[in-house]
Structure 1
Amino acid sequence: MEILRTERGGARRLGTREDQVLLVCIGACLAAILIASVLLAERAPGVAVVSIEFDDTLADQLSARSILAEHRMHATFFVNSGRLDRPGYLTVDELRALASDGHEIGGHTVDHARLPGLPAREQRRQICDDRRALLALGFAVSDFAYPAGAYDSISAGLVRSCGYDSARRAGGLGSPACIFCARVESIPPRDPAVTRTPGSLRRSDRLPRIQALVRRAQQDAGWMQLTFHHICDACEEYSISREDLSALLDWLAEERDAGRVVILTVRQVIHGARPPPRTLAVD
């Protein structure tokens, strides 16, 4: 420990040179964080790419069809082929109606199986057989979503070998308060087999929270996937009401028409399609 003599003959302890260097580094880091915060706050908004997505083949998702058409938007529906035509789930005819409107149909495993921990053979059946079944029904299936957003190295590898161009996880994007966390997914994605999201949206995620997610994508000119499940009035934790979905799409339409948002399906994002918003109109 270094000692510094004062004018009165006393002594004051100074830290070691390493301690002093550490204090300087901490100060520099704090200054960098402050500067980054100011720069992010003052940046002019860019253009956000937003994908509207529905998981699990749920029957009440059919009510999104008219709302999406009214707002001239297309969505991606991630489907479990083994659930089709069962009570509480979409029918094949309903899925074909959605596809005929221009909505993307993606894979989501045969039975909504949580993949990590399953034997490789069962993971292959869930992922590959789901895609084969949907292709056999006439759907162009190129993108996948992991049930519950859960995956491991086996499932990520099978997604590629089974012919998918992308697969979506749950999470991977930090909160707005996290300066150094990834805030949006890049275009093209850092890893198409594990695209990042803020997680599935819940009933408690009101319009201001979802707007904040989109604004993050505007700031970083990146991709934000908005993942929904049930469309109902407070029927499930992972749900959104028709009224709230309509209000969200009203706002997204305003942002789109102002040139601040482009609404694209997952396939369009992965394949690099960036058409002007008005080309997405539903006939």
Structure 2
Amino acid sequence: MPTERGCALRLATRRQQAALAFIVACLAAVLLSSVHLTRRPPGALVVSIEFDDTLADQISVRSVLAEHRMHATFFVNSGALDRPGHLTVAQLRALASDGHEIGGHTLNHLRLPGLTASEQRRQICDDRRALLALGFAVSNFAYPWGAHDSVSTELVRSCGYDSGRRSGGLAFASCILCPWTESIPPRDLTATRAPGSLSRSERVPAIKALIRRAQEDGGWIQLIFHHVCDACGKYSISSQDFSTLLDWLAEERDAGRVVVLTVRQVIHGEVPR
């Protein structure tokens, strides 16, 4: 026959179990709510179309971008302007007049780490001054090859740039534990993360797959292009593939699943909620 003390112990145990179950349920609810609060809906994915290195064949995208009502960011080496194989100042002005963003990319496309501090300053700051003198509103920067160190990141800030783009830091660039997208606002404005330069081997289906995966998390993805031509180098995309990609991006945009913005628009917060 159960004693009074035994009944009291069982009652206390049941109360403890109930209290523990209640605490676990509360913790689970908090964790679930935090997931919903931190993850953006698929339609919140922001895509930026970017071109590096001032390459002459990039002018061919002007009409395609206009046709799809999209704007891109062109990261420019001012020392390459008007040189063979590169964009001219007149072409760059035409792109800017269409509403495309012009950004800095150093004077001569030199790898910044390893240079003296004074040469890094010349490459970063003089490039911006040269572009400003040509009448371009230059506020964002991309490191050549994505390479940067503490000196270059500080110079990006002190030379008047709002942001600097690295290459890598996201899962697409062989980083298993990295996130798939950059946050908005970026975690580090002087080293915003990107999937890395898109190569010729990454055809439209691969880029679509990247964007679809990124849509699961929301945030910001930067698509980095170089040459626009038929198999003219490792980092190239054909005009046909680029047009096909924009056809699909336009469909995603019109369906509310993607927003296409320049880097300046993202950094300045011009992101639809």
Which TM-score bucket, shorter chain as reference? 0.7 to 0.9
Tell me if 1:67 matches 2:61: no
State the distance in 2 between where 1:144 and 1:77 align. Answer: 10
SS at 1:237 equivalent: coil
2:205 pairs with one of 203, 208, 211: 208
Deviation at 1:180, TM superposition (A): 4.2
Q: Which residue is 2:260 aligned to?
A: 263
State the distance in 2 between where 1:197 and 1:268 align. Answer: 16
Show the 5 A alignment for 1:1-283.
45-175=42-172, 180-274=177-271
State the distance in 2 between where 1:271 and 1:194 align. Answer: 16
Amino acid corresponding to residue 225 of structure 1 in structure 2: Q
SS at 1:193 equivalent: coil
Q: Which residue is 1:279 aligned to?
A: none
Q: Percent same amino acid among aligned pairs?
A: 76
Could you list the per-position Cα deviations for residues 12-69 of structure 1 after superposition, in whole angstroms to 9, with x for gaps in the alignment? Answer: xxxxxxxxxxxxxxxxxxxxxxxxxxx9xxx973421000000000000000000100
Deviation at 1:154, TM superposition (A): 0.4
User: Does the Cα contact within 8 Å between 1:49 and 1:217 map onto a contact in 2?
Assistant: no
State the distance in 2 between where 1:230 and 1:89 align. Answer: 11
Could you list the per-position Cα deviations for residues 124-153 of structure 1 after superposition, in whole angstroms to 9, with x for gaps in the alignment? Answer: 000000000000000000000000110011
State the distance in 1 between where 2:180 and 2:46 align. Answer: 13
State the distance in 2 between where 1:237 and 1:219 align. Answer: 29
Q: TM-score, normalised by structure 2?
A: 0.83
Amino acid corresponding to residue 67 of structure 1 in structure 2: V
Q: Report the more deviating stretch, 150-159 or 175-184.
A: 175-184
The runs of at least 4 consecutive aligned structure 1 residues that moved more than 6 Å come to: 176-179
Q: Which residue is 2:13 aligned to?
A: none
Q: TM-score, normalised by structure 1?
A: 0.80
State the distance in 2 between where 1:204 and 1:224 align. Answer: 19
SS at 1:220 equivalent: coil
Q: Which residue is 2:32 aligned to?
A: none
Which structure 1 segments of 5+ residues have no match? 1-38, 277-283
Aligned length: 237
Which structure 2 segments of 5+ residues have no match? 1-34
State the distance in 2 between where 1:62 and 1:179 align. Answer: 35
Deviation at 1:119, TM superposition (A): 0.2
Amino acid corresponding to residue 125 of structure 1 in structure 2: R
Cα RMSD after superposing both structures:
2.1
User: Does the Cα contact within 8 Å between 1:48 and 1:261 map onto a contact in 2?
Assistant: yes
User: Does the Cα contact within 8 Å between 1:169 and 1:196 map onto a contact in 2?
Assistant: yes
State the distance in 2 between where 1:261 and 1:151 align. Answer: 30
Deviation at 1:233, TM superposition (A): 0.1
State the distance in 2 between where 1:237 and 1:78 align. Answer: 19
Deviation at 1:72, TM superposition (A): 0.4
